[in-house]
Structure 1
Amino acid sequence: MSKQTTSKSKKAICILSGGMDSTLASYIAKKDGNEIIAVHFNYGQRTEKRELKAFRDICNDLEILNKYEIDIPFFTQIGASALTDETIDVPVNGVESGVPITYVPFRNGIFLSITAAIAEKEEASAMYIGVVQEDSSGYPDCTDEFIADITKAINQGTKETTKIEIKTPLVHLSKKQIVQHAKELNVPLEHTWSCYKESEKACGVCDSCRLRLNGFKLANAKDPIPYKV
């Protein structure tokens, strides 16, 4: 039996880390005419408190009242990622083959599964996630194939009346295009945070900072957040 969408108000759940990509994805969701429900995950990442501040600031910018702050402590227990294990250094040389050490095991799969439960409860029809293939080369949970498969699994594992679409509006964009699109939509990029290492001033040398800064450079724009380097 095929599932039918409900005729209720159009709701979308946005996975909002506080970074530039997820913030732009949330602004696109609003532009698409959705009532936004924001979800943020505290998972023991090095910049957890700074990312949470960014999330709250952006929710204020978007006037989002319905939001969830979810704690996932087990990522620090399993380690295996430079983002959640303090004994593993965050790479700063920009050269890394294979799956990067900043990959958190099945993070997006876990985020999407939890968000799906929230989407079912809230009777939302879409979930937005700001995955970017350029940003995540080597991350197995950022591909179109993965998103298609987990969408199928989510809809098989939820009620017949639940029909959820996972939207990835940035997946094939370059960082330059993301900066340009963000500026077109008046996204408050000064409230976003992308650095893997630091919370006061972005390090400027981790992979995330490098990609972000290069995007601004190619877009001929100035990044409004402070950097050490």
Structure 2
Amino acid sequence: MAQKVVVIYSGGMDSFTVLHKAIQDGCEVYALSFNYGQRHRKELDYAANVCAKRNIHHKIVDISSINQLIGGSSLTSDIDVPEGHYEESSMQSTVVPNRNMILLSMAIGYAVSLDASKVYYGAHSGDHAIYPDCRPEFVLKMNEVSQIANYEPVDIHAPYLNVSKIDILTDGLRMNLDYSETWTCYNGRERACGKCGACQERLEAFEKNGVKDPLPYE
């Protein structure tokens, strides 16, 4: 019998790759997406389409009311999305306070209810400089807590924790994944803007892999 796992699935290219990594690992996948009050629903729509197309168990959970408590990010509040390279200090405005601890806690609870053994999560090294809740020390401590928080221990599995988005895309291309099924841009317009930090990092990953990004850009 296949091992049950929960995959935190935003609909972006990193979590899309993680989703297929879990499938390739032979797991029975339960994808979990969150509406936490982000600027737009495009990623969630992409996530829903991917899961429907592949008959993957999928839940989209509305936790947007938490914005009463954790505002101040350009991803959730009325603050301009910064443009420029992903590593620049201006990108710190995209930090949503404690987001990954909240999402991981709910995913762990879901895993326990399913009798699933792992939660897959798409943190990678490109996020380390900007997002404290994507750093190896955070994942390590959260995993330690997850072992004792319930009667049933759940492992937090971050397969790309110590590699870059470039490497994630390399692995996804090796799996023949179609990245037109993903959305990365922080803006939710018809086409990706190509200017925000998320777009810049995505475009760089495709360039370094010598492949054209299938998404249309403004």
**Relative to structure 1, is the Cα distance of residues 75 and 136 closer, same or farther in structure 2, using a 3 angstrom cutoff?**
farther
Q: Which SS does the other structure have where 1:52 is aligned?
A: helix
- State the partner residue of 1:83: 75
- State the partner residue of 1:134: 126
Verify the 8 A CA contact 1:83 1:102 in the aligned structure 2. Answer: yes
Letter of the structure 2 residue corresponding to residue 26 of structure 1: L
How big is the shift at 1:155?
A: 2.1
Q: Which SS does the other structure have where 1:100 is aligned?
A: helix
TM-score by length of 1: 0.89
How big is the shift at 1:61?
A: 4.1
String of CA shifts for 1:86-134, please: whole Å, max 9, x gaps: 2x11110336328711010010100000001100000000110111121
- State the partner residue of 2:13: 20
Which aligned pairs between 1:1-229 and structure 2 lie closer than 5 A?
A: 9-47=2-40, 49-64=41-56, 66-77=57-68, 78-86=70-78, 88-94=79-85, 96-97=88-89, 100-159=92-151, 162-228=152-218
Q: Which SS does the other structure have where 1:101 is aligned?
A: helix
How big is the shift at 1:60?
A: 2.8
Cα RMSD of the aligned pairs, angstroms, is 1.6
- For structure 1, list consecutive stretches of 5 or more residues without a partner in the other structure: 1-7
**Relative to structure 1, is the Cα distance of residues 141 and 98 closer, same or farther in structure 2, using a 3 angstrom cutoff?**
farther
Letter of the structure 1 residue corresponding to residue 28 of structure 2: E
- For structure 2, list consecutive stretches of 5 or more residues without a partner in the other structure: none
Q: Which SS does the other structure have where 2:93 is aligned?
A: coil
**Relative to structure 1, is the Cα distance of residues 50 and 103 closer, same or farther in structure 2, using a 3 angstrom cutoff?**
same
Letter of the structure 2 residue corresponding to residue 214 of structure 1: E
Verify the 8 A CA contact 2:146 2:155 in the aligned structure 1. Answer: no
Query: Is the helix fraction higher in 1 or 2?
Result: 2
Segment drifting more, 51-60 vs 187-196: 51-60
How big is the shift at 1:35?
A: 0.2
Verify the 8 A CA contact 2:33 2:61 in the aligned structure 1. Answer: yes
Segment drifting more, 181-190 vs 211-220: 181-190
TM-score by length of 2: 0.93
Segment drifting more, 105-114 vs 90-99: 90-99
**Relative to structure 1, is the Cα distance of residues 133 and 33 closer, same or farther in structure 2, using a 3 angstrom cutoff?**
same
Q: Give the whole-Å Cα distance in 1 for the aligned partners of 2:91 and 2:202.
A: 19
Q: Give the whole-Å Cα distance in 1 for the aligned partners of 2:60 and 2:89.
A: 33
Q: Give the whole-Å Cα distance in 1 for the aligned partners of 2:158 and 2:3.
A: 17
Give the paired residue count: 216
